[in-house]
Amino acid sequence: EVQLVQSGAEMKKPGESLRISCEGSGYRFTNYWIAWVRQMPEKGLEWMGRIDPSDSYTNYSPSLEGHVTISADKSTSTAYLQWSSLKASDSAMYYCARLQWSGELGVFYGMDVWGQGTTVTVSS
């Protein structure tokens, strides 16, 4: 079964660091980019960035670049999202998702497999 399994819920204080994970299984992890998507409480979806696990090349949303870091370890089929200094406004559900790529069209066209989500709560 193709799946992405994320790490568990986290409760942190402002200024603390955090890394959450997303482990892929059931497929060749290096063949698909992984995206991270944020969903703030009772809000919609926001694309944060993506990574190519084969070489760790990343793209970030301009609004979040510099505040988060996306990485991957292909030896363990795991992608990561990390913060060096959390803010209360980082409180949200975070999803990883597998990106579908059209080689013919040269574009990502959908996120077909999603992790179950990781809840991050940042509060003093």
Partner 1 sequence: DIVMTQSPDSLAVSLGERASINCKSSQTIFYSPKNKNYLAWYQQIPGQPPKLIIYWASTRESGVPDRFSGSGSGTDFTLTISTLRAEDVAVYYCQQYYTTPPTFGGGTKVEIK
Which residue is associated with the tokens 């970030």?
A: 60
Structure tokens at 28: 């060749």
Encoded one letter per residue, x for contact with partner 1 by CB under 8 A and - for no contact, window 36-55 reads: -x------xxxx--------
Closest CB to partner 1 among 75 and 107? 107
Closest CB to partner 1 among 44 and 75? 44
By the 10 Å C-beta count (0-12 exposed, 13-18 middle, 19+ buried), 121 is classed as: middle
By the 10 Å C-beta count (0-12 exposed, 13-18 middle, 19+ buried), 38 is classed as: buried
Smallest separation, CB 4 to partner 1 (Å): 9
User: Among residues 31, 56, 85, 116, which is the contact residue for partner 1, using CB under 8 A?
Assistant: 116
Among 8-16, 69-77, 84-92, 108-116, the segment contacting partner 1 (CB under 8 A): 108-116
Closest CB to partner 1 among 7 and 100? 100
Q: Which of 96, 92, 90 is nearest to 116 (CA)?
A: 96
